[in-house]
């Protein structure tokens, strides 16, 4: 699903009005009616106080449509017009009159702190103050109103976007922003719903298709795309019945050091769970018994050194090398890693201590094979590209980094981001239970396993991240968040593949 900018959505509105020959008021009615339907479906006529806060622009017009329809169906509705300017949009004025006609009441006017209504924890608030059009922070009594709603304890539903949140920048540390429990957003999700610094404001997000011009939406180039089941499913390659293990590639997993062999077990198992035909593991001698016992499906090669990697030599010709998990950063290991980079032409998967070695030895970045996949968490990323002011600057720096070295970068998080030059993909599977030791090692193995099956590295990264999260979601359904461990994610990859192709499994 494409993630469009505010400017692109405005253009989509204009194209829709022109091509359908309808008024903006009618389009507003169509969009806001969907919001009403969702509220009505959830509340089912409940005897609850609904307080709707409407700005004086088009977002406020949406709120007035919702208010009118709720009143028509017998709900207890109180409407408050937030009078932050003398200007009103035309569609706001049309729907203001329609609401008055339906309810035979005048909405209350808020233009100072003394006008704030009392809000009880049991109330249902609808935020339709600013929407996507905000370009400067709320100040004075207006900022206090947003905080008043937040501090009430009432359930808050935001229309299109929580008020105070910008579509293209991070609010200041002390900025007043509605913290919605639920956001009903129009046509496409907004980027800020997925950024670590801003996702907390949107709560649970539901995208509502308001019927904007299909041709425009198909052709417009998006800065980012959201990857859900439909998108991931399109990337999957079914297997040929007449095939053998050699058709699905050979992955060499390299890493480990004394006391850190477990990460290698997790990564190597995940390689085969992701479908690779063969998996070899290169580790220090200290991990021999552990790997042979815990993972008999792998072929095992050991370094001459007992405790760390010093000389990565094999007669193998793997399709992909997955490097770094538990490897440590000793001078001998750095030297061995450099030699491996110098002799490797195919794209690699580099994680964990491999990333740390790149950060501390920047000259190694120039040795990266093109289209290699790097999988840092935020701290590892900071060591790679330096600090950033906010999430938007971070994305800009990653874009330049991936362009410079011609690589793919997977930034792990609640919504993992996959970057390849100017293209960004945002994963929509996964859950908080996956914040557990070894989860990243499993992800590295999955992506490497897909790469060995001749998935393009970018496709392997996108599909691998989605399957990783999907498997985690299946685990969480069975075990809950707290009891989930990384081995569960690897062990449930089979169920994830089945769920990906099963129309009845709504994950």
Which residues does the annotation place in the binding site? 58-62, 127, 131-137, 160, 163, 326, 377, 412-416, 440-441
Separate counts of helices (H) and strands (E) for the chain: 17, 18
Instruction: Yes or no: say if 324 and 353 are a contact pair by the CB < 8 Å rule.
Output: yes
Q: What angle do CA 11, 13, 17 make, to 5 degrees?
A: 120
Q: Give the integer Cα–Cα distance in Å for 59 and 61.
A: 5
Q: Tell me the backbone φ, ψ of residue 111, rounded to 5 degrees.
A: -140, 10
Structure tokens at 306: 């007992």
- The dihedral sign for the CA sequence 197, 203, 204, 208: negative
Q: Give the integer Cα–Cα distance in Å for 24 and 36.
A: 18
- Alpha-carbon separation of residue 107 from 97, 99, 103 (angstroms): 10, 9, 9
Chain Cα centroid distance, residue 158: 20
Residue 53 bridge partners (DSSP): 80, 127
Structure tokens at 304: 């001459």
DSSP per residue, 333-385:
HHHHHHHHHHH--S--EE-THHHHHHHH-GGGGGGPPTT-EE---HHHHHHHH
Q: Which residues of 419-446 are buried (b: 16+ CB within 10 A; e: fewer)?
A: bbbebbbbbbbbbebbebebbbbbbbbb
DSSP per residue, 100-154:
HHHHSSPPEEE-SGGGPPP--TT-EEEEESSGGG--S---HHHHHHHHHHHHT--
> Which residue in the block uniquely carries the two structure tokens 């639920």?
182
Residue ranges at the known binding site for AMP:
412-416, 440
How much is the CA Rg of the chain, to the nearest whole Å? 26
Residue ranges at the known binding site for K(+):
59, 127, 163
Using CB atoms within 10 A of its CB, is residue 86 exposed (0-12), middle (13-18) or buried (19+)? exposed
Residue ranges at the known binding site for (6S)-NADPHX:
58-62, 131-137, 160, 326, 377, 441
């Amino acid at each position: 699903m494409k993630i469009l900018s505010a400017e692109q959505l405005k253009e989509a509105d204009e194209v829709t009005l022109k091509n359908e020959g309808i008024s903006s008021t009618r389009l507003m009615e169509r969009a806001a009616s969907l919001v009403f339907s969702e509220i009505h479906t959830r509340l089912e006529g409940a005897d609850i106080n609904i307080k709707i806060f409407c700005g004086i622009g088009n977002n406020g017009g949406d709120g007035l449509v919702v208010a009118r329809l709720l009143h028509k169906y017998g709900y207890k509705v109180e409407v408050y017009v937030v009078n932050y300017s003398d200007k009103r949009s035309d569609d706001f004025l049309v729907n203001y009159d329609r609401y008055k006609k339906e309810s035979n009441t005048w909405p209350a006017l808020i233009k100072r702190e003394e006008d704030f209504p009392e809000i009880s924890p049991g109330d249902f608030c609808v935020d339709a103050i600013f929407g996507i059009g905000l370009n400067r922070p709320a100040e004075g009594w207006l900022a206090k109103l947003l905080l008043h709603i937040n501090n009430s304890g009432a359930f808050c539903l935001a229309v299109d976007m929580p008020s105070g949140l910008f579509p293209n920048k991070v609010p200041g540390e002390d900025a007043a922003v509605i913290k919605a429990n639920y956001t009903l957003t129009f046509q496409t999700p907004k980027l800020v719903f997925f950024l670590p610094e801003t996702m907390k404001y949107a709560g649970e997000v539901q995208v509502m298709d308001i019927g904007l011009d299909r041709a425009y939406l198909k052709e417009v180039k998006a800065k980012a795309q959201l990857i859900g089941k439909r998108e991931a499913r399109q990337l999957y390659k079914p297997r040929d019945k007449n095939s053998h293990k050699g058709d699905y590639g050979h992955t060499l997993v390299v890493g480990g050091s004394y006391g850190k062999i477990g990460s290698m077990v997790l990564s190597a198992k995940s390689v085969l769970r992701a479908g690779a035909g063969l998996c070899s593991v290169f580790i220090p001698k200290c991990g021999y018994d552990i790997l042979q016992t815990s993972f008999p499906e792998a072929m095992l090669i050991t370094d001459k050194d007992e405790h760390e990697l010093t000389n990565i030599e094999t007669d193998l010709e793997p399709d992909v090398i997955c490097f770094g998990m538990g490897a440590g950063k000793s001078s001998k290991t750095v030297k061995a890693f450099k030699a491996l980079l110098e002799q490797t032409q195919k794209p690699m998967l580099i994680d964990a201590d491999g990333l740390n070695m790149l950060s501390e030895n920047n000259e190694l970045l120039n040795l990266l094979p093109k289209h290699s996949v790097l999988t840092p968490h935020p701290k590892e990323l900071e060591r790679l590209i330096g600090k950033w002011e906010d999430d938007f600057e971070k994305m800009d720096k990653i874009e330049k980094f991936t362009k410079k070295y011609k690589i793919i970068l997977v930034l792990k998080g609640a919504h993992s981001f996959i970057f390849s030059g100017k293209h960004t993909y945002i994963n929509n599977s996964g859950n908080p239970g996956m914040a557990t030791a070894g989860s990243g090692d499993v992800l590295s193995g999955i992506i490497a396993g897909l790469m060995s099956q001749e998935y393009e590295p970018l496709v392997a990264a996108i599909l691998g991240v989605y399957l990783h999260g999907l498997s985690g979601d299946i685990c969480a359904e069975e075990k809950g968040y707290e009891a989930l461990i990384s081995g569960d994610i690897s062990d449930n990859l089979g169920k994830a593949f089945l769920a990906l192709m099963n129309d009845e499994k709504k994950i």
